């Protein structure tokens, strides 16, 4: 696999994620021989970069997409295995499926192969992968995936934040002419341990159980647990949006999203 590198997309404000990320990657993927790049624009923190990781810091922390474009400029491989900095591997990844994903990327000229079924495919290719319908909600998510580096750079030109990227990146003009692929299982098991800038309540205990010595070097706040029987409130706007997504045909939802995208670009 000499045509793919690992890219951890981060920034200096999230420097406290770097050590736990690499700890869990080396714990569950100890035999990894791919080059690992840590993209982190903003202030330089060389002393916090884990050993064996190639550090990319090209300038100020401008925006999520502009940062990602900067990082990709520094990588020579055709493909990148993209990780967000707040993902932690929780079990050994299926490297055979990573290799199969690369084969399918070449075979179908697919710029995107999602390695976790989050969500899964619409049309079967084989027992492990399938294609994603162009009308599918979240056609391109930021779960762990193989990306064609040049194609991902094109998407960065839209300057989406991560949330808009997941909503719109799969339906821009460049994407609609391409085949997008997803696994039908979770081949790179992971958890997400930060939300809205705060650690999930389970993080300290989880790190302790997994053997990671944690100092909370970013002094990041830990969310308060809701406690048993409590639920988070859901906004009426979010409820209506979810309800419409369930009622309307996928093609109509697709057209609405395309219209919103075009209005945003005016």
Radius of gyration of the chain (CA): 19
Taking only the tens place, the pLDDT of each residue in 158-190 is 999 999 999 999 989 999 999 999 999 999 999
Q: How many domains does the chain have?
A: 2
Calpha distance 146→175 (Å, rounded): 15
139 in the same domain as 37: yes
176 in the same domain as 75: yes
Taking only the tens place, the pLDDT of each residue in 191-208 is 999 998 999 999 999 999
Order of all β-strands in the sheet with 180-183: 54-56, 36-41, 4-11, 79-84, 145-148, 112-114, 180-183, 129-131, 123-124
194 in the same domain as 258: no
Q: pTM of the entire structure?
A: 0.87
Mean pLDDT by 10 residues, the chain (266 residues): 95 95 97 97 96 96 97 98 97 98 98 96 97 90 98 96 93 94 98 92 94 84 67 37 58 65 61
81 in the same domain as 207: yes
- Lookup: tokens for 186: 């979770």
Contact by Cβ (8 Å): 220, 172: no
Structural domain boundaries, residue 244: 233-266
């Amino acid at each position: 696999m000499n045509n793919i590198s690992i890219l951890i997309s981060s920034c200096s404000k999230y420097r406290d994620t770097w050590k736990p990320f690499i700890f869990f990657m080396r714990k569950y993927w100890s035999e990894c021989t791919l080059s690992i790049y840590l993209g982190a624009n903003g202030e330089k923190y060389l002393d916090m970069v884990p050993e064996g990781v190639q550090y990319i810091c090209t300038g100020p922390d401008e925006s999520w997409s502009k940062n990602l474009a900067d990082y990709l400029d520094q990588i020579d491989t055709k493909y990148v295995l993209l990780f967000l900095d707040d993902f932690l591997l929780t079990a050994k990844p299926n490297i055979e499926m990573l290799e199969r994903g690369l084969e399918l990327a070449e075979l179908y000229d697919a710029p995107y192969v999602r390695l976790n079924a989050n969500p899964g495919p619409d049309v079967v290719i084989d027992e492990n992968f399938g294609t994603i319908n162009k009308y599918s909600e979240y056609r391109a998510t930021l779960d762990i995936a193989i990306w064609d580096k040049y194609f991902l750079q094109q998407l960065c030109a839209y300057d989406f934040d991560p949330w808009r990227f997941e909503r719109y990146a799969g339906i821009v003009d460049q994407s609609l002419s391409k085949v997008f692929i997803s696994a039908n299982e979770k081949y790179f098991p992971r958890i997400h341990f930060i939300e809205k800038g705060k650690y999930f309540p389970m993080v300290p205990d989880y790190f302790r159980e997994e053997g990671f010595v944690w100092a909370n070097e970013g002094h990041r706040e830990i969310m308060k647990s809701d406690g048993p029987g409590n639920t988070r409130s859901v906004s009426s706007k979010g409820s209506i949006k979810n309800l419409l997504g369930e009622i309307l045909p996928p093609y109509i939802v697709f057209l609405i999203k395309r219209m919103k995208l075009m209005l945003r670009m005016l």
